[in-house]
Amino acid sequence: MTDLLLHTAEELHKLPRTGRRAVVMTMGALHEGHATLIRTAREQAGPEGQVVVTVFVNPLQFGAGEDLDRYPRTLDADLRIAEEAGADAVFAPHVDEVYPGGDPQVRITAGPMGERLEGATRPGHFDGMLTVVAKLLHLTRPDLALFGQKDAQQLALIRRMVTDLNFPVEVVGVPTVREEDGLALSSRNRYLSAAERHTALALSRALFAGRDRLAAQAALRARAEASPASDERASALARLGEIRASADAHAVSAAGAGLPDAVRAAALHILDEAGRHEPPLVLDYLALVDPQDFTETGQDFTGQAVLAVAAKVGSTRMIDNIPLEFGAHS
């Protein structure tokens, strides 16, 4: 296992290159979500390719009062997980290897997208994240870089940086891995007590409620398209005393309106309930956004969106999201 481990840029540059190189960047404390990224990297690089995993707790992306000091560091376990998942090398540099002159004076700036949602809550976080990703891309020189969709805003910003700054790398997003109860896998889950974990399940439940509301509304909309005279039908049914059928017809006729608000409302209902749990969920944001720039969707939005949530349970801050498709036949 120690044969996998590299600590310096010099060791990394001496690593013989075979086929396509895929990199998976992590801050360590690897779990099944990371293992899925590594296995996917192995598949995409192919049997002749090479998979490099980076393990680096980046101080630039932790703000004042955040959990840099207590962030779990489990390198021996990380090496085992990386090897079993198919990694060829693990690059785990020390801070002074990545930032040899101390905090860098020149950094990547995330721009307007980096100031929204996570960026508004954690000023400077995305600048620090993009700076270290840029450095690690230069150091590892991969053909492919794989990132989890759980950090959707991070993934969107990395894609934007790679496009805007002409990095010669393909960025691959890998779907979120969840535990059996729906909780998105995260290194921070280990901080949760049993009671806190129970409350934290509201994040994924809220997202699924929003997804289910969209599916139900989309089914009604399909019926509305097949029955364009549903308003008239509803009025006729009401006159005949068919109140339940009339209500259904009205629902069908209104199905195309306000879909984004309906999705938000369904998710927010679950989160509001969790705010009354003990311990409570303290909501930071619930947002339905365009994944291109992370601005809120309007009521006439069509295409892919991201329903994203962030909240604290106890002292642990958690994020989650799911992709949704808005359109005539969602």
**By the 8 A CB rule, do 157 and 184 touch?**
no
In angstroms, the CA 91 to CA 55 distance is 6
CB burial readout 263-275, b (16+ within 10 A) else e = bbebbbebbeebe
Q: Tokens for 9? A: 């840029």
In angstroms, the CA 60 to CA 301 distance is 35
Task: Catalogue the active-site residues.
Answer: 34
**By the 8 A CB rule, do 129 and 156 touch?**
no
In angstroms, the CA 250 to CA 154 distance is 41
**By the 8 A CB rule, do 210 and 203 touch?**
no
Question: Which residues, in sequence order, are bridge partners of residue 305?
Answer: 324
Question: Which residues, in sequence order, are bridge partners of residue 323?
Answer: 306
3-state secondary structure of 303: strand
